[in-house]
Chain A
């Protein structure tokens, strides 16, 4: 421990503003009588690296074109972006001779006001003005030298070359020379304006800047460059509007950069809080983004230094072209050595050089470890924790003798748990009621589950019949024990409801460092929410939404499994049934016959005598028709060769589809006749005498034949030949169908006397 004197023995050395506000104008005047508190700076790696870039920029001695650079300080809140930007600003302002430094502490939608009132303009102080005028005079000197070089009168005398060199090296005053040697001022002005137009790429700025070397109108031009309305004199020369809007202001900044850059002078722009623009309307944001991109290019190309602070989220969204031109310096979380150093420097503020070994008494070693853990390595957090802990330890009066872990935790609790748990419950109620998620009694078995000390009554959201979300509000989670009690509540809920049917969302009303939050998230599977977070409401709604989705998805999976099992069972049953049905159908369609079918040859003899004649007749007719066939009789062999001596060609004998169908019908008709005859024979043999043979059966046989014939296609016989030998007294028409139908009638008529009763159904 060091015995170095403590300059602030009675005072809390950490009670300082922990956020840095950049100032647009350099001011070193001491305020009030008290000794100014020097700003504490802990040289970290990023900080050293950043400042080395700034130093290298200022001490650049290569060609001016290679000097320019754009640096982005990228980091989350409280990591010290603005602090570094301020250090850079101070270093630039302290450099001799001071380069012009424009500082925009915060981009605003009203960029006109920022430009007019907050941004350093050359009018603000004499040095800045002279500097700006000198930069313009450089161009004036170049133009004058150019005109004098082309002059052949020898008016410069023997020292001509010396004059020209002096002008180009910015040693000689071009205005004095122009007057002394009667150089045409109007012509110089025109050339200067052209030259400036080429440099600034902007007509109005060229006009105004060219007028700066004209004493009469210098004020008017300067007023316009500072954001005022243009005077009539400027208006009639094409400067018609004041510098307005985002585009106008960035144009002005860009032109200033060119004025300084082309004359080889260093100059810088520091822009803090670029993230402000993310809240702007889309149009303004796009305008700003384009203008800013152009400005970065200008600065890099024209030897300027541009520093801006941005959070990682926006940095990732910036266009690629910017990423290529800007060197990002990422600000990391601090580890133990830097934290210790920061604490030490504050305690021994003003001690020069700082005491070796970074003594941190009255903080104990454990306390510092705790601070490293709880602050997540964010410097602003470290300072706030230290300030609170010191305050608490010094409550008894005087300088605290020791600041331990408890003081640190107590400070965190006091600082972060500002609202009572009842308010948290009330707020939860409000937010959840909006979606009708409020509120349910605890599910059975969880009515008396023990919850962590100091925690509010858990709130329950029923998602499905079985699935629940538990919302548990707890005070600051600082220790492992705090984590463990939250986790034990979670595991109890899971035991009762089942892991797939429950989610536990922990809401921390106070402080929870990253490590503790992660521990809870790992155990519950849900990231805890911090009540203090300004976006708490939205985050709560989003979280509950996604937990509901998660639970429903779990439920759906369960139902799907059940359904699949049942469907599997049903499918097996159905397959078995189907097999059986097929078996039955086959048995029905192909029954086993008691006797083999008689040979067709003997069939004729078995037909009863009275009907032998009709059967024979119809058989003959069908045989003849089949013999004749339908359509042309096919002929094969070589086709006619004509007069040539060629080889004989093979001939294809074709047949029309209809003919083929009719021949098929004839074959089928013959088979029907055979079946008819067989059935009659069978019926005849089945009984003896009138008593044994039934008329119903005979009728059924004849009718079967008749309806079977009806479905046959119409058979066209060859024209000119009588198709069938017509029986006298038969039905007209002479077609095959008629012949077959007549046969059925005839058979029935001839055999009726042979059956037992004479009933006739026809």
Chain B
């Protein structure tokens, strides 16, 4: 059976080469055009609203060298619920706000921004004028890179290793040679040196931290405290976590400290999200072949709640439905086909049997 990879419901990579991979979050601050694929589903509209309401008034205050002005954004939600896409969209919007604020501070006219509009779709976006963006783990932000394989240096604790990596990655981004943290053994002074560089260059800093499996409430709290403490002098941390109880970890922060912390949540999909999501893709041009046309009546279909558990589950289902349709050489995705597929693929307890002997 020939493998038919479809780009529908995927994420366009740089240059838009097919097939578009799946399970990759949208990163509009990095790739031009990703913002067009954004759909306001599950609880993201409220999350975005919260973000804008909290960050917009204080964006102008986020300046390098200005003590106490920074921010910590924590995005929590189960895996597959679109945390990373939401986070990247927030980064994108924050960078734009910061650019505007920086321009205003420098009394520039907002002329340069209009020329950026002519960039071709799926091309890499030019670096922000005012801000350095450091992703600790690429745009996927799945945390595998930083998730501290314990076998490598078993004598170093996970916490220390993560902290050292944060400093090293930022230092590299700012043009410092490798071994920056070993040259600055005091973590406070090391970070101070980095923010001094930012100040000298008049740049803000956004650090994107993936979900790290701490498996320990204490470490998880300590890490949030570490990130919060670095959010000063124009530094903003975006921390992603699948820990749905992260709100409890934020409780130890004082009321005053919590003014510089924004917590955003992603959840499962709503009943109407099915149609919303499909509509975007039905109208989307430039999806590389092979692809199928989606019948209008598919929008009226109501999938079971299990398929709406997260956007990634939904994407996965749709991809498989479409691939099935492609294999049957059907040019259209029909409602009957969809209904049949969802009926047949309803999760059954038999698929989750335990291995090994059970007594």
A-side residues, CB < 8 A to B, are 97, 127, 130-131, 133-134, 137, 153-159, 162-163, 166, 170-173, 176-177, 180-187, 189-190, 207, 210-211, 214, 216-217, 220, 231-233, 235-238, 264-265
B103 interfacial by beta-carbon distance below 8 Å: no
Assess the B352–A172 pair: CB atoms within 8 A: yes
Partner of A232, one of B156, B217, B219, B306: B156
Partner of B154, one of A180, A216, A231: A231
List B contacts of A233 (CB < 8 A).
150, 154, 157-158
Q: Which one, B7-15, B134-142, B230-238, B241-249, is touching chain A? A: B241-249
Cα A182 to Cα B305 in complex, Å, equals 13
16 contacts between A and B (CB under 8 A): A134-B357, A155-B309, A157-B304, A163-B352, A171-B349, A173-B352, A173-B354, A176-B352, A181-B306, A181-B347, A185-B242, A189-B215, A232-B150, A236-B158, A237-B218, A264-B359
Assess the B214–A180 pair: CB atoms within 8 A: no
B328 interfacial by beta-carbon distance below 8 Å: no
Assess the B213–A185 pair: CB atoms within 8 A: yes
List B contacts of A265 (CB < 8 A).
359
Assess the A235–B78 pair: CB atoms within 8 A: no
3 pairs of A and B residues whose beta carbons are closest in the complex: A154-B305, A155-B309, A157-B306
List A contacts of B356 (CB < 8 A).
130, 133-134
Question: A303 to nearest B CB, angstroms?
Answer: 13
The proximity string for B residues 318-359 relative to A, scoring 1 for CB distances below 8 Å and 0 otherwise, is 000000000000000000000000000011110111111111
Assess the A190–B347 pair: CB atoms within 8 A: no
Cα A231 to Cα B152 in complex, Å, equals 12
B80 interfacial by beta-carbon distance below 8 Å: yes
Question: A261 to nearest B CB, angstroms?
Answer: 13
List B contacts of A187 (CB < 8 A).
243-245
Assess the B155–A232 pair: CB atoms within 8 A: yes
Question: B125 to nearest A CB, angstroms?
Answer: 30
List B contacts of A235 (CB < 8 A).
157
For A155, A171, A189, A238, the residue with the greatest tally of chain B CB atoms inside 10 Å of its CB is A155
Assess the B150–A216 pair: CB atoms within 8 A: yes
Partner of B309, one of A153, A158, A207: A153
A184 in contact with B313 given A137-B354, A157-B347 (CB within 8 Å): no
Partner of B359, one of A97, A181, A214, A237: A97
Assess the A184–B158 pair: CB atoms within 8 A: no
Assess the B80–A182 pair: CB atoms within 8 A: yes
List A contacts of B219 (CB < 8 A).
236-237
Partner of A154, one of B149, B245, B306, B313: B306
Question: B152 to nearest A CB, angstroms?
Answer: 11
List A contacts of B154 (CB < 8 A).
220, 231-233
B159 interfacial by beta-carbon distance below 8 Å: yes
Assess the B310–A182 pair: CB atoms within 8 A: yes
Assess the A182–B309 pair: CB atoms within 8 A: yes
Assess the A237–B242 pair: CB atoms within 8 A: no
Chain B residue with the shortest CB-CB distance to A169:
B358
B81 interfacial by beta-carbon distance below 8 Å: yes
A159 in contact with B347 given A153-B305, A184-B244 (CB within 8 Å): yes
The proximity string for B residues 281-310 relative to A, scoring 1 for CB distances below 8 Å and 0 otherwise, is 000000000000000000000001110111
For A170, A183, A190, the residue with the greatest tally of chain B CB atoms inside 10 Å of its CB is A190
Having A159-B346, A184-B244, A217-B215, one finds 19 other A-B pairs with CB under 8 Å, namely A134-B354, A134-B357, A157-B304, A157-B347, A159-B347, A163-B349, A170-B354, A171-B349, A171-B354, A171-B358, A172-B352, A177-B352, A186-B214, A189-B215, A220-B150, A233-B150, A236-B158, A238-B218, A264-B359
List A contacts of B313 (CB < 8 A).
182
Question: A585 to nearest B CB, angstroms?
Answer: 106
Assess the A231–B150 pair: CB atoms within 8 A: yes
List A contacts of B5 (CB < 8 A).
none
A184 in contact with B215 given A231-B154, A235-B157, A236-B159 (CB within 8 Å): no
A214 in contact with B304 given A156-B347, A171-B353, A176-B352 (CB within 8 Å): no
List B contacts of A154 (CB < 8 A).
304-306
Partner of B357, one of A131, A171, A184: A131
- Which residues of chain B from 147 to 187 have a CB within 8 Å of any chain A CB? 149-150, 153-159
Cα A171 to Cα B78 in complex, Å, equals 25
Cα A214 to Cα B267 in complex, Å, equals 25
Cα A190 to Cα B249 in complex, Å, equals 12
Question: B353 to nearest A CB, angstroms?
Answer: 6
Question: B80 to nearest A CB, angstroms?
Answer: 5
Question: B297 to nearest A CB, angstroms?
Answer: 23
B53 interfacial by beta-carbon distance below 8 Å: no
- Which residues of chain B from 194 to 222 have a CB within 8 Å of any chain A CB? 213-220
Question: B220 to nearest A CB, angstroms?
Answer: 8
Assess the B242–A186 pair: CB atoms within 8 A: yes
Assess the B157–A184 pair: CB atoms within 8 A: no
Assess the A186–B268 pair: CB atoms within 8 A: no
Cα A295 to Cα B78 in complex, Å, equals 41
Cα A108 to Cα B305 in complex, Å, equals 60
Cα A137 to Cα B352 in complex, Å, equals 14
Assess the B149–A184 pair: CB atoms within 8 A: no
Assess the A155–B305 pair: CB atoms within 8 A: yes
B123 interfacial by beta-carbon distance below 8 Å: no
B79 interfacial by beta-carbon distance below 8 Å: yes
Assess the A155–B268 pair: CB atoms within 8 A: yes
Cα A131 to Cα B358 in complex, Å, equals 8
Assess the A190–B349 pair: CB atoms within 8 A: no
List B contacts of A181 (CB < 8 A).
306, 309, 347
List A contacts of B159 (CB < 8 A).
236
Question: A140 to nearest B CB, angstroms?
Answer: 11
Assess the A170–B81 pair: CB atoms within 8 A: no
Assess the B241–A166 pair: CB atoms within 8 A: no
Assess the B349–A97 pair: CB atoms within 8 A: no
List B contacts of A158 (CB < 8 A).
304, 346
Chain B residue with the shortest CB-CB distance to A147:
B244
List A contacts of B215 (CB < 8 A).
186, 189, 210-211, 214, 217, 237
Assess the B309–A190 pair: CB atoms within 8 A: no
Question: A605 to nearest B CB, angstroms?
Answer: 134
List A contacts of B78 (CB < 8 A).
182-184
Cα A189 to Cα B357 in complex, Å, equals 23
Chain B residue with the shortest CB-CB distance to A156:
B306
Assess the B309–A186 pair: CB atoms within 8 A: no
Cα A190 to Cα B123 in complex, Å, equals 42
Chain B residue with the shortest CB-CB distance to A157:
B306
Chain A residue with the shortest CB-CB distance to B222:
A236
Chain B residue with the shortest CB-CB distance to A217:
B150
Cα A216 to Cα B245 in complex, Å, equals 23
Cα A137 to Cα B359 in complex, Å, equals 12
For B155, B216, B305, B353, the residue with the greatest tally of chain A CB atoms inside 10 Å of its CB is B216
Cα A134 to Cα B308 in complex, Å, equals 31
Question: B344 to nearest A CB, angstroms?
Answer: 13
List B contacts of A217 (CB < 8 A).
150, 215
Cα A171 to Cα B357 in complex, Å, equals 10
List B contacts of A238 (CB < 8 A).
216, 218
Chain B residue with the shortest CB-CB distance to A207:
B216
Cα A153 to Cα B304 in complex, Å, equals 11
Assess the A186–B241 pair: CB atoms within 8 A: yes
Partner of B349, one of A155, A172, A231: A172
List A contacts of B352 (CB < 8 A).
163, 166, 172-173, 176-177, 180
Cα A190 to Cα B244 in complex, Å, equals 11
Cα A220 to Cα B150 in complex, Å, equals 9
List A contacts of B216 (CB < 8 A).
207, 236-238
Question: A138 to nearest B CB, angstroms?
Answer: 9
Question: B208 to nearest A CB, angstroms?
Answer: 19
Chain B residue with the shortest CB-CB distance to A189:
B215
Question: A128 to nearest B CB, angstroms?
Answer: 11
Assess the B214–A172 pair: CB atoms within 8 A: no
Question: B151 to nearest A CB, angstroms?
Answer: 8
List B contacts of A155 (CB < 8 A).
268, 305-306, 308-309
Assess the A180–B354 pair: CB atoms within 8 A: no
List B contacts of A173 (CB < 8 A).
352-355
